[in-house]
């Protein structure tokens, strides 16, 4: 591609779509033309890109003529319906939904971990689940050093992972509670303000949720590690933005804190914030709006052999979604 690629953002008005547009601008991605696509109700809405206003157009099967790269973030149903049409039009799709992640013909990519998989695409490249991506940013460098067998993890997931309406719900409920009014619920089955919900995504027959199994299934594919095991509890917390995950990982090789720290310090896209004596550790507030994830609370696991505990936090709208998608598009240009 000698010229600047023409780029489309599908789901441009959603929480992730907005971040995608901003990330393309901030990272100086060489965009020829930018086309913004969304459902009929958003048509005509103006969004800023590099100082000019671009009107949102309705997403149809014919939207992709002349488009080189399409960043999709409009949910699995939309991706399944329109991504094949985009590919037929000669476009490469970077899809942020779960629609194609486990498809054998579709690479599932975190550019800091498996950028070479981008080359294997047949028109579609999948972005991983946000919690999985953030966890692997810290787990993969440790896997390279010590060979991970399994992890036990709990996630602390921000409401923005559900979308813009969930952010409004948390704001509204905080206002209702402080004003002494009854709490209203629309997005979540229970009050989210001043509460935590051990329920992210839909439940499977095993009692795990889909979200909880994504860590194992997607982790295996991204790390090229078919034997990887992950037992996860995903929890929605009253945080606006950025996910955190507490991980206990068990490795094949003996772990030392010194070697673990060195592996993490050398990892791209990751900052070690680990000085508990100064009360310094990763916080969702501190990683909000940042490209890099943070890892801290490093300690040898007292219940596992060759085990290490750590706490990792990252902005799930960025590394967990928009930033990762744009980084994949950057790999496509290489």
Q: Which residues are bridge partners to 66 per DSSP? A: none
* Boundaries of every domain in the chain: 7-127+321-333, 132-316
**What is the rounded CA–CA span in Å between residue 50 and residue 23?**
11
Rounded to the nearest 10 degrees, what angle do helices 323-333 and 15-26 cross at?
A: 50
* Residue 1 confidence (pLDDT): 56
Active site includes 199?
no
Mean pLDDT across 76-88? 97
Active site includes 91?
no
Q: Model confidence over 249-292: pLDDT tens digits? A: 999 999 999 999 999 999 999 999 999 999 999 999 999 999 99
Mean pLDDT across 211-229? 98
Pick the CATH number of 7-127+321-333 from 3.40.50.300, 3.10.450.50, 3.30.300.180, 3.40.50.720: 3.40.50.720
Asked if residue 163 has pLDDT above 90, the reply is no
Contact criterion met (CB below 8 Å) for 118 and 328:
yes
Residues ≥6 apart with Cβ < 8 Å to 120 = 107
Among 91, 130, 234, 293, the active-site one is 130
Q: Model confidence over 305-320: pLDDT tens digits? A: 999 999 999 999 999 9
Share of the chain above pLDDT 70, in %: 99
Q: Model confidence over 28-58: pLDDT tens digits? A: 999 999 999 999 999 999 999 999 999 999 9
Asked if residue 2 has pLDDT above 90, the reply is no
Residue 3 pLDDT class (50, 70, 90 cuts): confident
CATH class of residue range 132-316? alpha beta
Closest CA to 197 of 231, 157, 170: 157
Among 91, 121, 243, 293, the active-site one is 243
Residue 120 pLDDT class (50, 70, 90 cuts): very high
Of 164 and 239, more confident: 239
Asked if residue 303 has pLDDT above 60, the reply is yes
Closest CA to 89 of 22, 18, 10, 23: 10
Closest CA to 315 of 254, 268, 269, 256: 269
């Amino acid at each position: 591609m000698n010229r600047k690629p023409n780029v489309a953002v599908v789901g441009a008005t959603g929480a992730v779509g907005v971040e995608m547009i901003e990330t393309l601008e901030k990272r100086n991605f060489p965009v020829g033309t930018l086309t913004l696509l969304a459902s009929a109700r958003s048509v005509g809405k103006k969004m800023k890109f590099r100082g000019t206003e671009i009107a949102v157009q309705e997403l149809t099967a014919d939207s992709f003529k002349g488009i080189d790269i399409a960043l999709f973030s409009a949910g699995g149903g939309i991706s399944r319906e329109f991504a094949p049409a985009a590919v037929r039009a000669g476009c490469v799709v970077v899809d942020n939904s779960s629609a194609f992640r486990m498809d054998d013909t579709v690479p599932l990519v975190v550019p800091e971990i498996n950028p070479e998989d981008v080359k294997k695409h047949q028109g579609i490249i999948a972005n991983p689940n946000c919690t999985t991506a953030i966890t692997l940013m810290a787990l993969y460098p440790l896997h390279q050093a010590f060979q991970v067998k399994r992890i036990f993890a709990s996630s602390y997931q921000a409401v923005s992972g559900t979308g813009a309406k969930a952010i409004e719900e948390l704001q509204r409920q905080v206002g209702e509670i402080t004003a002494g009014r009854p709490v209203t619920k629309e997005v979540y089955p229970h009050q989210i303000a001043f509460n935590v919900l051990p329920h992210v995504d839909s439940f499977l027959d095993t009692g795990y949720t889909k979200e909880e199994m994504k860590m194992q299934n997607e982790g295996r594919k991204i790390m090229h590690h078919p034997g990887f095991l992950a037992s996860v509890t995903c929890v929605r917390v009253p945080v606006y933005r950025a996910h955190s995950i507490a991980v206990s990982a068990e490795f094949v090789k003996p772990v030392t804190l010194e070697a673990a720290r060195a592996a993490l310090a050398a990892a791209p896209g990751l900052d070690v914030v680990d000085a508990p004596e100064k009360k310094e550790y990763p916080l969702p507030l501190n990683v909000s709006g940042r490209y890099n994830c943070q890892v801290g609370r490093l300690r040898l696991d007292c219940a596992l052999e060759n085990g290490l505990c750590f706490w990792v936090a990252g902005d799930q709208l960025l590394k967990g979604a928009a930033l990762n998608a744009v980084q994949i598009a950057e790999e496509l240009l290489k």
